[in-house]
Each structure stands twice: as structure tokens, then as C-alpha cells.
């Protein structure tokens, strides 16, 4: 009898719970507010899952055109955690971001306060760079870091680089362009993300094209001077050229130091009369605050003079490209030493002018996307790694300044044959062909 009563009581409790659940379901179906809350909760859950998938796809697709290397799962997890942390910081940063003109003025004032009586141009530029640049970090600090943040994207074609670049640089979209944000260069038809390499390549090539298209050589004084061109002046290409000078100086490009002394003085001295093309150029470089800064610290003119850059030498290039060897005495170390000796002998041949038109600068450009060292240094120091591969051709990951030399059975025993492979590699005008 007691068991029967207990069973009856449990049955009544279960029926009561069932009625409460039915009541809750009916109430939820009849209450539109509750339905909206459920839909919002489901939407947020789906959005979180989608963001995780997009983040993994973005990181897995982020590979250098040369190497085809992708981030492994461990890197993806670390990058996602870093990405989440950075996004919180970015959100706060964007809320507090002051207008560009005010930020530029403050960067100049802060720089003048920090430098005091300093007259060393590179030190002054480094401090101004620290105060002026904002948004995404300019370069990764190591291979495992996935950098995020606000940038200025431009889309250009390698086949029509000069015109595309001018159109992108001059396009303002109805709002002043924030020159303090890093350029993010996307070459149309390519899938490489710009974490430094494409930007350095773009700036290097654009300075060369500006010298070819908008300047004429002054053989008497040395250096180049702006030459008037009606089409270029009408399209404000000289303003674009001044803008490229500013970007290159502050964002890791080559020093823009091919002007003659007379042209430098005309641009930076206020009391000298300027043509319309020179006025455009001044407006472009002034958008970075550099005209005002040079006016207050005349020593900065040194950075625009040809003497600011020294020719690249064999010893300097050897010191720049630091090899990452395996343990001394290991079999792998012996293979690495063989591959490295090939490279050193080849660089000596290049120095002696015995490899055709190839220069030491071409080797540095293959690794870093720039023929010259940036005046403020590299975010990640250039280095050489050693890998097993099916092809003996070296490859490069230009965003982290890494060249990979092949070791093992694919490496030819004939030195001249290896030199020919080096010729094929370094004769390329841009990374991505090898």
C-alpha cells in the first residue's frame, strides 16, 4: 500500500511539472518579447561560431606568395586569443582616437618636447614616428604574431602601378585621409596579405617610378629635380609624389634621397619661390607634418640628401642576413654549411660584377622587398633558414624578412649550376615569382 501511495504521489508531481513546462512553452510562444530574446540569443551564438570560422580561414589563408607557408593549429589558437584581446583594445582606441589634424599637431609638439636640443636626424625621426603612427602595428615583431588594427588599404596592379597608385593615393572619399595609419597594399589578383613586405615593395617601386616619370637628372649639380608635366600637374601627381615621400620615410620604405640640393632647398625653404608642381609636392609631404618638423629641425634635411644612403657592401649584407644554423656537429649542420657557402661565394661573384646585372641590392630586396635598409630599422631582423624542398630555388617570406635556403639531395654538387639557380631567383623584380 505504501509503495502504491508513493507511486501515485510521484505521478502527480510529474504531471504538475509537465503542466508547468507546457505553460512555459505556451507563454513563450504567445510572448513576442520572449521570442525576440530567444532569437537574439541564437543569433549571437551563430555569430560567435561564424567569427571563429572566419578567423581560422583568414589565418589559414594568410600565406606568403613565395613560401606558401600557413599558420598551424597552434598558431591559429594563439592568434585567435591575441586577436580577441587586441579587438577589445582597438574598440577603446577607436573611441578615443582624435581627429587626424589634431593628432598630427600633437605628434609634432610631443616630439619637440622629447628631443630637447637633439640634432641627430634619425633619432628625431624615430621619436616622431613613435608619436605619429597609430592604428595597426607597422610590422610583425616575430613570426608567430598576427597583427591587427586599422590601416589605409590601397589596391594596385603591377602592370599599371604608377597610375593605379596615384589614383588610390589621391582618392579621399569625401573625408581627409589619415596619414598616420599604416598603408596596406593589395596587388590585384594576388592573395598575399600585407604585413610589411608588399608595402615596402610598393614604396620602393613608386620612388623609382617618380624619379623616372616626374623628374629629370641634373647632371651639373648631381641628383634629380622635378620636371613640369601638364598632365601630371592637372592630375595632381606631384601632390601624390610628395605623399609617397612621406609614406616611405615613415613606413619602412627607402629614404627618398635622390633630389639635388637646389631642389631640396626649394621644397623646404618657405621664402623661395615655388612653381605649381613644387607647391603640389610640398602639400603632399606637408600632410604628414614633415614640412613643419623640418622647419623646426633643419638637421632633418640630411635624410633627403643622397649622402644619407651608403652603397650596400658584401660585409654589410652578410651581417644583415643572419643564418639560423642547427647544432654544431650534427649532420643537418653540415648540409646547412654547404648551402650557406654557396650563397656567400655567389654574393662575392655579384660584388665582382660577374653575375650580369644582378646587384647585392637585388638579394636584399628578394628577402625584404626593399633595396636599402629602412632608416628606422627592421621590425623583424632579416635571417636565413634552411629547409628541405623539392626545388633548389631559394624562397622568401618578405613580411618577416626570411630567406629559406634548400638543403639535402636537391642541392646540386656543381657550384656553377647552383649559381644559375641563384641568378633565376634574384633577377625577379618582385617576390612571388619563385
56, 74, 93 - which closes a domain = 93
Does residue 54 lie within any of the structural domains? Answer: yes
Question: Is position 76 within any domain?
Answer: yes
Please tell me the distance from the alpha carbon of residue 293 to that of residue 14, in angstroms, as a whole number: 81
Report, as an integer, the average pLDDT of 171-176.
71
Q: Is residue 431 part of a domain?
A: no
Same structural domain for residues 319 and 397? yes
Give the tens place of pLDDT for each residue, 411-434. Answer: 898 999 999 999 999 987 544 444
Tens digit of pLDDT for each residue in 111-140? 999 999 999 999 999 999 999 999 999 888
- Whether residues 261 and 154 share a domain: the answer is yes
Chosen domain end from 242, 275, 308? 308
Mean per-residue pLDDT of the chain = 81
CATH at residue 266: 3.90.1750.10
Range of the domain at 59: 34-93
Confirm whether 24 is domain-assigned. yes
User: Are 198 and 295 part of one and the same domain?
Assistant: yes
Report whether 127 contacts 203 (CB < 8 A).
Answer: no
* CATH code, 386: 3.30.2410.10
Structural domains of the chain, count: 4
Domain final residue, candidates 308, 343, 373: 308
223 and 363 housed in the same domain: no
39 lies in the same domain as 173: no
Q: According to the model, what pLDDT value does residue 192 have?
A: 75
- Confidence (pTM): 0.73
Q: What is the pLDDT of residue 409?
A: 82
Is residue 360 domain-shared with residue 235, that is, in the same domain?
Answer: no
| Together in a domain, 79 and 139 | no
pLDDT tens by residue, 300-340:
999 999 999 989 999 999 999 999 999 999 999 999 999 99
Tell me, yes or no, whether 381 and 412 share the same domain. yes
Residue 192 vs residue 296, higher pLDDT:
296
Do residues 60 and 115 both lie within one domain? no
Amino acid at each position: 500500500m505504501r509503495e502504491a501511495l508513493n507511486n501515485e504521489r510521484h505521478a502527480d508531481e510529474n504531471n504538475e511539472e509537465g503542466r508547468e513546462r507546457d505553460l512555459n512553452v505556451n507563454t513563450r510562444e504567445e510572448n513576442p518579447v520572449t521570442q525576440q530574446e530567444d532569437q537574439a540569443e541564437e543569433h549571437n551564438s551563430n555569430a560567435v561560431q561564424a567569427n571563429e570560422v572566419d578567423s581560422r580561414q583568414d589565418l589559414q589563408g594568410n600565406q606568403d606568395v613565395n613560401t606558401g607557408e600557413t599558420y598551424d593549429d597552434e598558431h591559429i589558437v594563439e592568434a585567435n586569443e591575441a586577436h580577441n584581446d587586441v579587438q577589445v583594445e582597438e574598440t577603446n582606441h577607436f573611441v578615443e582616437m582624435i581627429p587626424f589634424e589634431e593628432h598630427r599637431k600633437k605628434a609634432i609638439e610631443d616630439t619637440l618636447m622629447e628631443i630637447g636640443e637633439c640634432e641627430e636626424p634619425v633619432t628625431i625621426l624615430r621619436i616622431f614616428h613613435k608619436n605619429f603612427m597609430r592604428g595597426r602595428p607597422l610590422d610583425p615583431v616575430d613570426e608567430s604574431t598576427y597583427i591587427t588594427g586599422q590601416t589605409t588599404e590601397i589596391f594596385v596592379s603591377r602592370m599599371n602601378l604608377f597610375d593605379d597608385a596615384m589614383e588610390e593615393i589621391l582618392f579621399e572619399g569625401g573625408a581627409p585621409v589619415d596619414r598616420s595609419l599604416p598603408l596596406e597594399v593589395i596587388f590585384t589578383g594576388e592573395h598575399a596579405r600585407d604585413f610589411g613586405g608588399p608595402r615596402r615593395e610598393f614604396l620602393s617601386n613608386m620612388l623609382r617610378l617618380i624619379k623616372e616619370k616626374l623628374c629629370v637628372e641634373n647632371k651639373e649639380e648631381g641628383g634629380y629635380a622635378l620636371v613640369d608635366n601638364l598632365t601630371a600637374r592637372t592630375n595632381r601627381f606631384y601632390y601624390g609624389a610628395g605623399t609617397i615621400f612621406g609614406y616611405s620615410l615613415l613606413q619602412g620604405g627607402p629614404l627618398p634621397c635622390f633630389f639635388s640640393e637646389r631642389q631640396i632647398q626649394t621644397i623646404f625653404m618657405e621664402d623661395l619661390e615655388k612653381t605649381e608642381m613644387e607647391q603640389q609636392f610640398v602639400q603632399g609631404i606637408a600632410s604628414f607634418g614633415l614640412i613643419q618638423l623640418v622647419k623646426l629641425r633643419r638637421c632633418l634635411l640630411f635624410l633627403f640628401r643622397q649622402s644619407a644612403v651608403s652603397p650596400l657592401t658584401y660585409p654589410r649584407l652578410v651581417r644583415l642576413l643572419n643564418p639560423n644554423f642547427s647544432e654544431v656537429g650534427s649532420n643537418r649542420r653540415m648540409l646547412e654549411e654547404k648551402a650557406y657557402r654557396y650563397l656567400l661565394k655567389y654574393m662575392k661573384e655579384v660584388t665582382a660584377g660577374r653575375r650580369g646585372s644582378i646587384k647585392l641590392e637585388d638579394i636584399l630586396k628578394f628577402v625584404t622587398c626593399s633595396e636599402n635598409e629602412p632608416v628606422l630599422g627592421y621590425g623583424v631582423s632579416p635571417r636565413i633558414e634552411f629547409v628541405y624542398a623539392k626545388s633548389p630555388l631559394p624562397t622568401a617570406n618578405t613580411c618577416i624578412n626570411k630567406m629559406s635556403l634548400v638543403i639535402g639531395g636537391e642541392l646540386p654538387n656543381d657550384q656553377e649550376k647552383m649559381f644559375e639557380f641563384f641568378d633565376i631567383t634574384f633577377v625577379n623584380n618582385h617576390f612571388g615569382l619563385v
